Structure 1
Amino acid sequence: MNDKVEGLLRNKLLENISLLKMMETYGPVISCSVIERGREWGMLLALHTKRSAFDLAKYPDTESVIFVSGSHAPILNELLDQLPKSKPLVFKVQHPLYKALVESKFQVSSVSAFITYSCGEPLSIADDEQVMEEATFNERLLPLWRQNGYNEQELSRMFYNGARSFTLYHGNVPVSTCIIFCNCAPVWEVGTVFTCAEHRGNGYAKKVVSRAINFLLERNLVPRYQVVHDNAASIHVAESIGLKQVVVLEHLLYAGQSSF
């Protein structure tokens, strides 16, 4: 990744975490256009949808996934004008200004949104010795983790790269769990949160998530808890333990237009 580009994005780390992760993951196959004028700058990232398994499954009829970031609306307008109007696109915007600029040039519809929560202070609910921290892949937890769409290979790779799980057991039976794993240093995800149906409503998810977040804060890492906008249960967990909403990444779909 170009050091200058990374430096610009890291000035607002959580706001731009999706862009940083895309550049880290896709490297040379992602297109990056940057304009700098004095202290002002703008950036546009474009990735062919077929390169991303997630986007290909969710937006199979689109040509590219587009991200924007910057400090100056005229520069961002200039970059957006370079995009073809004939191609179907999905824009992923993390700031109201970017959304307004996209909407001024493309007829888009909002199709999804992802809310990022974080915090900088320890969470008091975390002091529960029942929550176990594990640094190795535990096959007994696999049925719970699979509920979030992860397979054994993905999970094994996470633990190989330093992931840890936090789980609440009843006896020897796991009833609620989550995993922390590195997104883009120093930001770590708190994900794969799941509580067995018969144990919901007891605050178990709050306990495992809080313990996970405190673990990260103790090591000067930045916790990130991301939820889909319509997942009321996950939003409740985040807000009830004191996490704060820091950014909303909205997906805007552009259908393209005929050249005739």
Structure 2
Amino acid sequence: MIQYDRIMEKLRMNPLKNVTLLKMLTAHHQVMDSYLIEQENNWGILLLLPANAFSYDLRAYPNANTIVLLDYSSPELLPALIDQLPKDARLVFKLQDEYSVLALSEHYPLYKTRCFYSYSTASAHSFAEDRDTVLSELPDERLYPLWAANGYSSDEIGHYFAEGAFSVSLFEGEIPLSTCFVFRNEEQIWEIGGVHTVEEGRKKGLAKRVVRTALFHTLQRGYIPRYQVQDNNVPSIRLAESLGLPLAVKLTHWINYIEQPI
């Protein structure tokens, strides 16, 4: 537990960069192998998670053995971290910097699979509440079909709201047109997810209005907002950019094997 606390302390020095590591370590530390290497004033952290422990990884990488996450204060610690990696395993590396990619490519073949952009801001004065939006701290069943269209299950939604999530939506009468919800990802990091606009409401700027209002409320509550999109989701990237959100983190997935269907 002492090492766990020390690793969490190091990762929370930059919570937005390390939100994936923090979330996985918090949820799955019982089944995760974790390594902390310290040399003088530098440190390196390696987390190894069974690939079947997290539902997303199980769906995305059904043939993988282990998910690899790492961070360090100096690249001098990378060789020592790489030495701890399991041999002859099918690995998924989730990497946040190019130096890690270069260092690992000397030991493994690396095939890029996915890339995610995380946008964030600390500028509370840049966002105003849209008075036509509806803020709710209870799950609204009218919104479930919109969130389900983005892949969220009823159980997931119920869990998020039980932990303090809130939604921001625009309606026409009783019919929802556009929505998103904000949920706790890890400590101070709150995720803006479930952004969805019905077909007849698109290209009218509705998603921008609900996300802008969600950012307003997230920052007003003292949280750090995170808006994550996959790099091939051009509309969501354009939405983030139109709101003036700077890119905070780029997380790229790499595998060291050729993925074959089961």
TM-score of Structure 1 vs Structure 2, range by shorter chain: over 0.9
| Structure 1 unaligned residues grouped into runs of 5+ | none
The offset of 1:189, in angstroms, is 0.4
- The AA in structure 1 aligned to 2:231 is H
Residues 173-207 of structure 1 deviation map (CA, whole Å, 9 limit, x = unaligned): 11000000101111100000000111111111111
Residues 180-237 of structure 1 deviation map (CA, whole Å, 9 limit, x = unaligned): 0101111100000000111111111111011011101112110000001100011111
Q: How does 1:22-171 map to 2 (within 5 A)?
A: 22-122=24-124, 124=126, 126-171=128-173
The offset of 1:62, in angstroms, is 1.1
The offset of 1:126, in angstroms, is 3.6
The whole-number CA distance in structure 1 between the counterparts of 2:70 and 2:123 is 30
- Give the match for residue 175 of structure 2: 173
- The AA in structure 2 aligned to 1:47 is L
TM-score, length-scaled by structure 2: 0.94
User: RMSD in angstroms over aligned alpha carbons?
Assistant: 1.4
| Structure 2 unaligned residues grouped into runs of 5+ | none
The offset of 1:76, in angstroms, is 1.4
- Give the match for residue 197 of structure 1: 199
SS of the residue corresponding to residue 30 of structure 2 reads helix
- The AA in structure 2 aligned to 1:114 is F
- Percent identity over paired residues: 37
- Count, aligned residues: 256
Residues 133-187 of structure 1 deviation map (CA, whole Å, 9 limit, x = unaligned): 0111110111101011111121112111111000011122110000001011111
Conserved 8 A contact 2:37-2:45: yes
Runs of 4+ off more than 6 Å: none
TM-score, length-scaled by structure 1: 0.95
- The AA in structure 2 aligned to 1:185 is E
The whole-number CA distance in structure 2 between the counterparts of 1:165 and 1:84 is 42
Residues 17-58 of structure 1 deviation map (CA, whole Å, 9 limit, x = unaligned): 100000001021111011101111111100111112211111
The whole-number CA distance in structure 2 between the counterparts of 1:158 and 1:206 is 22
The offset of 1:72, in angstroms, is 2.0
- Give the match for residue 230 of structure 1: 232
Structure 1 pair 125/23, CA: closer, same or farther in 2 (3 Å)? closer
